[in-house]
Amino acid sequence: MTYVVKPKFHHPELPKNKLGYTHRDYEGAVSTLCAGCGHDSITASIIEACFELSIEPHRVAKISGIGCSSKTPTYFLGNSHGFNSVHGRMPSVLTGANLANRDLIYLGVSGDGDSASIGFGQFAHCMRRGVNMVYIVENNGVYGLTKGQFSATADRGSKSKRGVVNSDNAIDMVGIALQIGASFVARSFSGDKKQLTPLIKAAIEHQGAAFIDVISPCVAFNNHAGSTKSFDYVREHNEAVNFLDVITGRAPIHVDYAPGTVEMVEQHDGTILALRKLNAEYDVHDRQAAMSFLHHHAAKGQIVTGLLYVEQDPQDLHQHLNTVEAPLNTLGEKELCPGSAALEKINAALR
Amino acid sequence: MKPTDISVPDYFHKVVDCQWACPAHTPVPEYIRLIAAGRYSDAYMINWESNVFPGILGRTCDRPCEPACRRGRVEKDPVAICRLKRVAADFKDDIRGRLPKPVKTKNGKRIALVGGGPASLAVARDLAPMGYECVVFDQDPKSGGMMRTQIPKFRLPETVIDEECDYILNLGIEFIGGRRIDSMKALLKENYDAIFVGCGAPRGRDLDIPGREEAKKNIHIGIDWLSSVSFGHIDKIGKRVIVLGGGNTAMDCCRSSRRLGGEDVKVVVRSGFEEMKASPWEKEDALHEDIPIFNFLVPKEFTHENGRLTGVVFEKVKAEYDAKGRRKLVPTGEADEHFPCDDVLVAVGQENAFPWIERDCGIEFDKWDMPKVDPTTMASTHPKVFFGGDAAFGPKNIIWAVAHGRDAAISIDLLCRGEDIGVRPPPQVKVASQKMGIHEWSYDNEIALDKRYRVPHRDKVVALRDIKAEVELGYDVELALKEAERCLNCDVQTVFTGQLCIECDACVDICPMDCITFTQNGDEADLRTRLQAPAKNHTQDLYIGNDLKTGRVMVKDEDVCLHCGLCAERCPTGAWDMQKYLIDMTHAEQACQQRTQSAA
């Protein structure tokens, strides 16, 4: 870790967003992770995404579990709400918070240990219910805090730093998310912010369960030859299907891409996702095709990245449950106690 | 762009903006770190070696380093480099034991130095310890030149001049005071092996307007008047004084007047306030002593009565700029203004004058009647005659005089050894890693956010009573340490090794100034627009690192780097390292050592 405080000085020409903030205003404390950790790049991408979307920091709730990844919310959005919860329990804590106040932007940050092992069930149910959130898994395939044992996302056949070969099958988080109904599914790589930052922006704008699996090399324990989550391996086997530009309603839309290579996807809130297709056949609206595409390429040892699936009219948990729109803490006695006449009516209906 | 060749000494030298801007290339961050460590004598010696007059310059330098200071680009005000130099001089121990000793056996070469000011003394300082017999001639009884005669004692006490001039004269140099050289031909006949002309720009420009002759008793030429004040020949002036001119001499004149009986002292300048030649801090000091500065007034006539000056008439002008941006002062058409006064000091510029150099002695002069001098070797067209200081290229300042002197000393040494003075030995550069542990550096990499500290001044009432009372009191130790902490250590360089880089982006993410980008290569104009933050300062280089696995390049904009070392701390592979760059500029002694080394 670094002992000096990151200097407050910033570049005199730093751009400011609509709120008058620079991206430095979206930082948190200096990272205490190992130097070179992929997670720090994801942190930087989250900072950049929130800056570019001109999000007011106090409108964000960042919630995490336990692990290297779950430490990272300390390192971004120093002025947001935060909750560092129990191991694997980020989804249920976040679901509760979301039910109580749907006005906030919910950012769940987790890792492969937190979400694919101890919190696997939590992850699945949270996606299945369609909680309106951004679910980021910082996926390095090892337990970094306990010195590099394989995690549940480590590929079968990959080698640990000490040379042990992993004999267990890997859980593909993206595959599960697609299968159980996440309405926005993407995969990216911490070493490619150009791809990652727009994906995070799109996920924030997406009004439903958005899942991003970010492969994030563990420099200390999983960045060697034989690893399938090292910088070199991911760069060599990265099969990006598309790149994204997020166009928010505020900026005038002007597109200068070659015709036929770009698909414009309008999101529910008016945001437009401009998808630069690298693979012409790939259709981001076809869940089944996406799943088979992933399986097909995984078998070839390729790591498919990009926006893999997006539902154009997502529904979220609040719509399913028909909950009240106002945050619960703003409800007064009048709304919460409708009076004896109303109680009589309910009781009568149950007789 | 091509990958940066960091083995070229100039590359990292330019990153140390202050040192690059200093004519004598003083290693500024190095001595500021020594001050911060309480090693004042060491800090002083570093200064003494590169700029010869630390105590004098620490009070009077024109400080080209400060506008260049990187701190001014990332915060507001530069580090008070000049006043920290004074700190080293003020708090040092007795350093006489660390100075070179007079040599017992001379090398038999005799050098004449005309003028005993900073340029000549710098030449003698370098040559005497090598065995040269140096003879310094000056018209005044004491050495120091304009440092002694033109800078008022309330800015530069006599004791400081004596001390630092003596350090040099005690090296076994012969100083012949009170002797004015009035013929170059005669001097050449005395068979010196080389002659150095460092006689300054001794002639103050006059103002030839009506009434000048009639009222001459109360109209004085600024630099001559300052010189007379300095030697005690003048100790009073009228109650109402007008100083004409907007340079540093004008500031010295008006402030001296305030101390010699001037109660209503005004400075009147042709140009606007901003365009005045005086340093901003000197204008500030004058205003602080209740001296108003009037701008856009051109003197038209001295008024007088019975041979006595009564005032000056000024024409009001305004600045107009033509299509090329050149300024022209045109009359506003308003009525002229008359300022009554008892005395006028004319400080409207200085000129070189070489009436004593016969134009047929082998020294060529140009169309401005200035000697033709090579800016690198300081050689004139006469093989044995060299120039330096104001005598070479017109009025500049002390630090330039020192730089000229040191360059001339190399030339004189080469000449006396029968070598080509055009072949200059290269400087010596040391680059060493500052890494002490995983997150420990041998320099203090934490960035202080403090604003520039003001130097305490003597109480105005007390200061104005005594022309010898120094106005600036200098930083005390506490202020000095705080100010020293503001230095960004720009000489501790960020050194990048592409082969070690795994492109994890950790440096990009941590850099507080968004200096670092990994991207596809391109030409410079294109790259400058594609970085984390735009690189609009074209005077600052882009550092290009290659050998990356993805085929991209690392681009670092040197402009606003804080040298905080966070890139190196967050680098998992040591691809970034913080390395201290020390350049030892070539000087005469070194040129000789190198030759012995190569001969061995």
The helix or strand, by DSSP H or E, that contains position B65, with its residue range, turns out to be: helix B65-68
B contacts of A4 (beta carbons < 8 Å)? 445-447, 564, 566, 569
A contacts of B566 (beta carbons < 8 Å)? 2, 4, 6
Looking at residue B214, its pLDDT comes to: 93
Q: Is B506 on the interface with A (CB under 8 A)?
A: yes
Least confident residue range of A152-156, A252-256, B15-19 = A252-256
Q: What is the pLDDT of residues B5-30, one digit of tens each?
A: 999 999 999 999 999 999 999 999 99
Q: Is B445 on the interface with A (CB under 8 A)?
A: yes
* Chain B interface, best mutation among A1, A2, A72, by max B CB count within 10 A: A2
B contacts of A1 (beta carbons < 8 Å)? 439
CA gap B348, B299 in Å, rounded: 11
CA gap A91, A63 in Å, rounded: 8
Looking at residue A258, its pLDDT comes to: 59
Task: Note whether residue A270 is domain-resident.
Answer: yes
Q: How confident is the model at residue B593 (pLDDT cuts 50, 70, 90)?
A: low
Say if CB A153 and CB A141 are below 8 A apart: yes
Q: How confident is the model at residue B595 (pLDDT cuts 50, 70, 90)?
A: very low
B contacts of A38 (beta carbons < 8 Å)? 504
CB-based contact B509 A41, cutoff 8 Å: yes
* Chain B interface, best mutation among A11, A13, A75, A218, by max B CB count within 10 A: A11
Q: What is the pLDDT of residues B479-510, one digit of tens each?
A: 999 999 999 999 999 999 999 999 999 999 99
3-state secondary structure of B579: strand
Q: How confident is the model at residue B598 (pLDDT cuts 50, 70, 90)?
A: very low
Task: Note whether residue A86 is domain-resident.
Answer: yes
CA gap B153, A331 in Å, rounded: 78
CA gap A144, A217 in Å, rounded: 10
3-state secondary structure of A199: helix
CB-based contact B571 A217, cutoff 8 Å: no
CA gap B102, B227 in Å, rounded: 32
B:65-84 residues touching chain A, CB 8 A cutoff: 73-75
Mean pLDDT for the stretch of residues B117-127: 97
Mean pLDDT for the stretch of residues B132-137: 97
Chain A residue closest to B517 (CA)?
Answer: A193
Q: How confident is the model at residue A260 (pLDDT cuts 50, 70, 90)?
A: low
Q: How confident is the model at residue A264 (pLDDT cuts 50, 70, 90)?
A: confident
CA gap A119, A121 in Å, rounded: 5
Residue A233: which CATH number?
Answer: 3.40.50.970
Q: Is B529 on the interface with A (CB under 8 A)?
A: no
Q: How confident is the model at residue A90 (pLDDT cuts 50, 70, 90)?
A: very high
Where do the domains of chain B lie? 100-202+352-416, 205-349
Q: What is the pLDDT of residues A292-306, one digit of tens each?
A: 999 999 999 999 999
Chain A residue closest to B548 (CA)?
Answer: A232
* DSSP bridge pairs for A214: A138, A188
Q: Is A7 on the interface with B (CB under 8 A)?
A: yes
A contacts of B436 (beta carbons < 8 Å)? none
B contacts of A188 (beta carbons < 8 Å)? none
Q: Is B449 on the interface with A (CB under 8 A)?
A: yes
Q: How confident is the model at residue B592 (pLDDT cuts 50, 70, 90)?
A: low
- Closest Cβ–Cβ partner in B449, B506, B549 for A35: B506
A contacts of B446 (beta carbons < 8 Å)? 4-5
- Closest Cβ–Cβ partner in A1, A9, A37 for B513: A9
Q: Is A36 on the interface with B (CB under 8 A)?
A: yes
Name B141's Cβ contacts closer than 8 Å, sequence gap at least 6.
B177, B178
Q: Is A38 on the interface with B (CB under 8 A)?
A: yes
Average pLDDT of chain B, as a whole number: 94
Task: Note whether residue A167 is domain-resident.
Answer: yes
B:414-443 residues touching chain A, CB 8 A cutoff: 439
A contacts of B75 (beta carbons < 8 Å)? 9
Least confident residue range of A70-74, A133-137, B324-328 = B324-328
Least confident residue range of B6-15, B334-343, B591-600 = B591-600
Nearest CA-CA distance, residue B338 and chain A, Å: 48
The answer on pLDDT for A115 being more than 90 is yes
Count of domains forming chain A: 1
Q: Is A188 on the interface with B (CB under 8 A)?
A: no
Q: Is A190 on the interface with B (CB under 8 A)?
A: yes
Looking at residue B426, its pLDDT comes to: 86
Q: Of B231, B210, B594, B589, give the one whose Cα is nearest residue B412.
A: B589
Structure tokens given for B189: 């006949």
CB-based contact B505 A193, cutoff 8 Å: yes
Nearest CA-CA distance, residue B512 and chain A, Å: 6
Instruction: Name all contacts of B326-334 with Cβ < 8 Å and 24+ positions apart.
Output: B327/B271, B327/B275, B329/B270, B329/B271, B329/B296, B329/B298, B332/B296
Nearest CA-CA distance, residue A138 and chain B, Å: 15
Q: How confident is the model at residue B351 (pLDDT cuts 50, 70, 90)?
A: confident
Q: What is the pLDDT of residues A158-174, one digit of tens each?
A: 999 999 999 999 999 99
CB-based contact B572 A41, cutoff 8 Å: no
Helix then strand then coil, % of chain A, to nearest 5: 35, 20, 45
Nearest CA-CA distance, residue B514 and chain A, Å: 7
CB atoms closer than 10 angstroms to residue B324: 5
Nearest CA-CA distance, residue B570 and chain A, Å: 4
What size, in residues, is chain A? 351
Q: How confident is the model at residue A275 (pLDDT cuts 50, 70, 90)?
A: confident
Task: Note whether residue A81 is domain-resident.
Answer: yes
How buried is B555 (Cβ within 10 angstroms: 0-12 exposed, 13-18 middle, 19+ buried)?
buried
**Cα end-to-end span (Å), chain B:** 41
* Chain A interface, best mutation among B570, B571, B573, B576, by max A CB count within 10 A: B570
The answer on pLDDT for B124 being more than 80 is yes
Count residue pairs from A and B with Cβ separation < 8 A. Answer: 99
Q: Is B147 on the interface with A (CB under 8 A)?
A: no
Domain that holds residue A204: 23-321
How buried is B438 (Cβ within 10 angstroms: 0-12 exposed, 13-18 middle, 19+ buried)?
exposed
Q: How confident is the model at residue B251 (pLDDT cuts 50, 70, 90)?
A: very high
- Closest Cβ–Cβ partner in A2, A43, A190 for B570: A2
CB-based contact B571 A235, cutoff 8 Å: no
CB-based contact A5 B446, cutoff 8 Å: yes
Q: What is the pLDDT of residues B31-84, one digit of tens each?
A: 999 999 999 999 999 999 999 999 999 999 999 999 999 999 999 999 999 999
Q: Which residue has the tokens 């200071």?
A: B69
Q: How confident is the model at residue B355 (pLDDT cuts 50, 70, 90)?
A: very high
Structure tokens given for A336: 């919460």
The answer on pLDDT for A268 being more than 90 is no
Average pLDDT of chain A, as a whole number: 92
Mean pLDDT for the stretch of residues B223-229: 94
Name A345's Cβ contacts closer than 8 Å, sequence gap at least 6.
none
Q: How confident is the model at residue A256 (pLDDT cuts 50, 70, 90)?
A: low
Say if CB B71 and CB B488 are below 8 A apart: yes
A contacts of B549 (beta carbons < 8 Å)? 232, 235
The strands making up B542-545's β-sheet, listed across from edge to edge, are B516-519, B553-557, B542-545
A:192-231 residues touching chain B, CB 8 A cutoff: 193, 217, 219-220, 223, 231
CB-based contact A12 B446, cutoff 8 Å: no
Q: Are strands B553-557 and B516-519 parallel, antiparallel or unpaired?
A: antiparallel
Q: How confident is the model at residue B596 (pLDDT cuts 50, 70, 90)?
A: very low
* CATH placement of domain B100-202+352-416: 3.50.50.60
Mean pLDDT for the stretch of residues B177-181: 94
Task: Note whether residue A276 is domain-resident.
Answer: yes
- CATH: 3.40.50.300, 3.30.70.120, 3.50.50.60, 3.30.1330.30. Which one for B205-349? 3.50.50.60
Mean pLDDT for the stretch of residues B161-183: 96
Looking at residue B590, its pLDDT comes to: 59
> CATH topology of B100-202+352-416 equal to that of B205-349?
yes
CA gap B427, B420 in Å, rounded: 17
Chain B residue closest to A10 (CA)?
Answer: B513
CB atoms closer than 10 angstroms to residue B139: 17
B contacts of A37 (beta carbons < 8 Å)? 504, 506
Mean pLDDT for the stretch of residues A92-100: 97
- Closest Cβ–Cβ partner in A5, A36, A235 for B571: A36
Nearest CA-CA distance, residue A319 and chain B, Å: 39
Backbone angles phi, psi at A305, to 5 degrees: -125, 165
Please tell me whether the overall predicted TM-score, pTM, comes out greater than 0.95 for this model: no
Prediction ipTM score: 0.91
